[in-house]
Protein backbone atom coordinates (compact mmCIF):
# COMPACT_ATOMS: atom_id res chain seq x y z
CA UNK A 1 0.00 0.00 0.00
CA UNK A 2 1.47 3.41 -0.94
CA UNK A 3 2.58 5.70 1.86
CA UNK A 4 0.12 8.05 3.52
CA UNK A 5 1.44 11.58 2.94
CA UNK A 6 0.93 14.45 5.38
CA UNK A 7 2.05 17.98 4.52
CA UNK A 8 2.62 20.48 7.31
CA UNK A 9 2.64 24.08 6.17
CA UNK A 10 1.21 27.55 6.47
CA UNK A 11 1.77 31.19 5.74
CA UNK A 12 3.37 32.39 8.97
CA UNK A 13 6.51 31.42 10.85
CA UNK A 14 6.74 30.45 14.49
CA UNK A 15 3.67 28.23 14.55
CA UNK A 16 5.48 24.98 15.51
CA UNK A 17 5.26 23.35 12.09
CA UNK A 18 8.53 21.45 12.53
CA UNK A 19 7.73 20.58 16.14
CA UNK A 20 4.45 19.04 15.06
CA UNK A 21 6.12 17.20 12.15
CA UNK A 22 8.73 15.69 14.45
CA UNK A 23 6.32 14.68 17.17
CA UNK A 24 3.90 13.07 14.72
CA UNK A 25 6.84 11.15 13.22
CA UNK A 26 7.84 9.90 16.68
CA UNK A 27 4.25 8.97 17.58
CA UNK A 28 3.73 7.03 14.35
CA UNK A 29 7.10 5.29 14.72
CA UNK A 30 6.05 4.28 18.23
CA UNK A 31 2.96 2.68 16.72
CA UNK A 32 5.20 0.46 14.61
CA UNK A 33 5.04 2.42 11.34
CA UNK A 34 7.99 3.13 9.08
CA UNK A 35 8.12 6.90 8.78
CA UNK A 36 10.11 9.21 6.52
CA UNK A 37 10.33 12.99 6.93
CA UNK A 38 11.11 15.39 4.08
CA UNK A 39 12.26 18.88 5.04
CA UNK A 40 11.67 21.50 2.33
CA UNK A 41 12.31 24.57 4.50
CA UNK A 42 15.79 25.25 3.18
CA UNK A 43 16.17 28.47 5.18
CA UNK A 44 15.91 26.62 8.51
CA UNK A 45 16.01 22.84 7.92
CA UNK A 46 14.88 22.33 11.52
CA UNK A 47 13.69 18.77 10.96
CA UNK A 48 16.89 17.83 9.15
CA UNK A 49 19.03 19.10 12.03
CA UNK A 50 16.71 17.34 14.50
CA UNK A 51 17.14 14.05 12.62
CA UNK A 52 20.92 14.39 12.73
CA UNK A 53 20.79 14.78 16.53
CA UNK A 54 18.47 11.79 16.66
CA UNK A 55 20.75 9.60 14.54
CA UNK A 56 23.60 10.21 16.99
CA UNK A 57 21.63 8.46 19.77
CA UNK A 58 21.58 4.72 19.17
CA UNK A 59 18.82 4.22 21.76
CA UNK A 60 16.26 6.01 19.56
CA UNK A 61 14.27 4.40 16.77
CA UNK A 62 15.43 5.48 13.33
CA UNK A 63 13.44 8.17 11.54
CA UNK A 64 14.93 9.06 8.18
CA UNK A 65 14.86 12.71 7.19
CA UNK A 66 16.19 14.33 4.03
CA UNK A 67 15.87 17.77 2.54
CA UNK A 68 14.30 18.51 -0.84
CA UNK A 69 13.56 21.45 -3.08
CA UNK A 70 11.10 22.03 -5.90
CA UNK A 71 13.31 20.13 -8.32
CA UNK A 72 13.76 17.00 -6.19
CA UNK A 73 10.59 16.74 -4.08
CA UNK A 74 8.36 15.01 -6.62
CA UNK A 75 10.93 12.34 -7.38
CA UNK A 76 11.61 11.77 -3.70
CA UNK A 77 7.92 11.30 -2.92
CA UNK A 78 7.67 8.79 -5.77
CA UNK A 79 10.76 6.90 -4.58
CA UNK A 80 9.61 6.84 -0.96
CA UNK A 81 5.96 5.93 -1.49
CA UNK A 82 6.66 2.18 -1.44
CA UNK A 83 9.39 2.33 1.23
CA UNK A 84 7.36 3.93 4.03
CA UNK A 85 3.90 3.64 5.48
CA UNK A 86 3.92 7.35 6.34
CA UNK A 87 5.69 10.35 4.84
CA UNK A 88 5.61 13.75 6.56
CA UNK A 89 6.61 16.80 4.53
CA UNK A 90 7.74 19.74 6.67
CA UNK A 91 7.46 22.91 4.57
CA UNK A 92 8.38 26.53 5.19
CA UNK A 93 6.19 29.49 6.07
CA UNK A 94 5.27 30.55 2.54
CA UNK A 95 3.23 29.71 -0.52
CA UNK A 96 6.12 27.83 -2.07
CA UNK A 97 6.46 25.58 -5.08
CA UNK A 98 7.47 22.80 -2.68
CA UNK A 99 4.26 23.21 -0.67
CA UNK A 100 2.07 23.16 -3.77
CA UNK A 101 3.90 20.14 -5.22
CA UNK A 102 3.46 18.21 -1.98
CA UNK A 103 -0.24 19.09 -1.68
CA UNK A 104 -0.95 17.57 -5.09
CA UNK A 105 0.24 14.20 -3.74
CA UNK A 106 -0.86 14.44 -0.12
CA UNK A 107 -3.62 12.81 1.87
CA UNK A 108 -3.77 15.49 4.56
CA UNK A 109 -2.69 19.12 4.87
CA UNK A 110 -1.95 20.21 8.45
CA UNK A 111 -1.66 23.93 9.11
CA UNK A 112 -0.77 25.10 12.63
CA UNK A 113 -1.80 28.59 13.70
CA UNK A 114 -1.43 30.57 16.88
CA UNK A 115 -4.71 31.79 18.42
CA UNK A 116 -4.13 35.47 17.64
CA UNK A 117 -5.57 37.68 14.95
CA UNK A 118 -2.35 38.10 12.98
CA UNK A 119 -2.07 34.33 12.53
CA UNK A 120 -5.79 33.79 12.00
CA UNK A 121 -5.76 36.20 9.05
CA UNK A 122 -3.35 33.82 7.27
CA UNK A 123 -5.89 30.96 7.41
CA UNK A 124 -7.55 32.54 4.37
CA UNK A 125 -4.45 31.72 2.34
CA UNK A 126 -4.36 28.18 3.74
CA UNK A 127 -7.99 27.73 2.67
CA UNK A 128 -7.14 28.96 -0.84
CA UNK A 129 -4.15 26.62 -1.10
CA UNK A 130 -6.34 23.72 -0.01
CA UNK A 131 -9.02 24.46 -2.60
CA UNK A 132 -6.44 24.99 -5.35
CA UNK A 133 -4.93 21.58 -4.63
CA UNK A 134 -8.32 19.90 -4.32
CA UNK A 135 -9.11 20.72 -7.93
CA UNK A 136 -6.52 18.10 -8.87
CA UNK A 137 -6.12 16.01 -5.71
CA UNK A 138 -9.64 15.28 -4.52
CA UNK A 139 -8.59 12.95 -1.71
CA UNK A 140 -6.84 15.81 0.12
CA UNK A 141 -8.25 16.86 3.48
CA UNK A 142 -7.11 19.87 5.51
CA UNK A 143 -6.74 20.43 9.24
CA UNK A 144 -6.02 23.55 11.26
CA UNK A 145 -4.25 23.01 14.59
CA UNK A 146 -4.18 25.74 17.22
CA UNK A 147 -0.60 25.85 18.46
CA UNK A 148 1.71 27.68 20.84
CA UNK A 149 -1.21 28.54 23.09
CA UNK A 150 -0.13 29.67 26.54
CA UNK A 151 0.55 26.84 28.97
CA UNK A 152 0.42 29.12 32.01
CA UNK A 153 -2.70 31.15 31.20
CA UNK A 154 -5.87 29.39 30.08
CA UNK A 155 -6.51 31.83 27.18
CA UNK A 156 -10.11 30.64 27.18
CA UNK A 157 -11.49 33.79 25.54
CA UNK A 158 -8.82 33.88 22.81
CA UNK A 159 -9.10 30.15 22.08
CA UNK A 160 -12.88 30.26 21.92
CA UNK A 161 -12.73 33.24 19.55
CA UNK A 162 -10.18 31.49 17.34
CA UNK A 163 -12.22 28.30 17.22
CA UNK A 164 -15.38 30.22 16.33
CA UNK A 165 -13.61 32.22 13.64
CA UNK A 166 -12.11 29.15 11.94
CA UNK A 167 -15.20 26.95 12.04
CA UNK A 168 -17.57 29.68 10.83
CA UNK A 169 -15.32 31.27 8.22
CA UNK A 170 -13.68 28.14 6.79
CA UNK A 171 -16.14 25.25 7.17
CA UNK A 172 -14.17 22.92 4.89
CA UNK A 173 -11.06 23.12 7.09
CA UNK A 174 -11.24 20.70 9.99
CA UNK A 175 -10.29 22.20 13.33
CA UNK A 176 -8.40 19.79 15.57
CA UNK A 177 -9.62 19.28 19.12
CA UNK A 178 -5.97 18.93 20.14
CA UNK A 179 -4.29 22.21 21.10
CA UNK A 180 -0.50 22.26 21.12
CA UNK A 181 0.53 24.55 23.95
CA UNK A 182 3.75 26.47 24.41
CA UNK A 183 5.51 24.01 26.72
CA UNK A 184 9.23 23.91 27.49
CA UNK A 185 9.33 20.15 26.87
CA UNK A 186 8.82 20.60 23.12
CA UNK A 187 12.04 22.55 22.35
CA UNK A 188 13.96 20.54 24.94
CA UNK A 189 12.96 17.28 23.29
CA UNK A 190 13.79 18.73 19.87
CA UNK A 191 17.29 19.59 21.06
CA UNK A 192 17.90 15.91 21.85
CA UNK A 193 16.47 14.60 18.58
CA UNK A 194 13.41 13.33 20.43
CA UNK A 195 9.70 13.87 20.57
CA UNK A 196 7.90 14.58 23.83
CA UNK A 197 6.76 10.93 23.92
CA UNK A 198 10.43 9.99 24.40
CA UNK A 199 11.61 12.90 26.51
CA UNK A 200 12.59 12.71 30.18
CA UNK A 201 11.36 14.06 32.50
CA UNK A 202 7.97 13.14 31.14
CA UNK A 203 5.53 15.93 30.43
CA UNK A 204 2.18 14.20 30.66
CA UNK A 205 0.25 17.20 29.33
CA UNK A 206 2.43 17.46 26.23
CA UNK A 207 2.21 13.69 25.73
CA UNK A 208 -1.58 13.88 25.89
CA UNK A 209 -1.61 16.68 23.30
CA UNK A 210 0.51 14.72 20.83
CA UNK A 211 -1.43 11.50 21.35
CA UNK A 212 -4.75 13.28 20.79
CA UNK A 213 -3.47 15.02 17.67
CA UNK A 214 -2.07 11.78 16.25
CA UNK A 215 -5.35 9.97 16.87
CA UNK A 216 -7.39 12.74 15.25
CA UNK A 217 -5.22 13.03 12.17
CA UNK A 218 -4.57 9.36 11.53
CA UNK A 219 -7.08 7.06 13.16
CA UNK A 220 -9.93 8.41 11.04
CA UNK A 221 -7.78 8.65 7.91
CA UNK A 222 -5.83 5.41 7.83
CA UNK A 223 -7.19 1.94 8.43
Reported as a single tens digit per residue, the pLDDT across 129-149 is: 999 999 999 999 999 999 999
> Mind listing the pLDDT tens digit for each residue in 49-106?
999 999 999 999 999 999 999 999 999 999 999 999 999 999 987 789 999 999 999 9
Q: Tell me the pTM.
A: 0.94
DSSP state of 68: -
pLDDT at 222: 44
Q: Let me know: does 210 contact 195? Beta carbons within 8 Å.
A: yes
Element containing residue 55 per DSSP (H, E):
helix 46-55
> According to the model, what pLDDT value does residue 153 have?
77
Note the residue count of the chain: 223
Q: How far apart are CA 161 and CA 150, in angstroms?
A: 15
pLDDT at 223: 36
Among the listed residues 2, 5, 1, the one whose alpha carbon sits nearest the alpha carbon of residue 37 = 5
C-beta of residue 161 within 8 angstroms of C-beta of residue 47: no
- 4-219 sits in which CATH class? alpha beta
Cα four-point dihedral sign 94, 126, 141, 190: positive
What value does the mean pLDDT of the chain take?
Answer: 94
Amino acid sequence: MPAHIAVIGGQKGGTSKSTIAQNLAVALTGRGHRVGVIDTDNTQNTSLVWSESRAADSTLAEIRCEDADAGTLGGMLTAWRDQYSHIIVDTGASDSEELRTALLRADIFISPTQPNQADLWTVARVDQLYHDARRINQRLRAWVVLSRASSTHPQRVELAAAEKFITKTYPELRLSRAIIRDRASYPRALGEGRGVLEYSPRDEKAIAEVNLLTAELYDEQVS
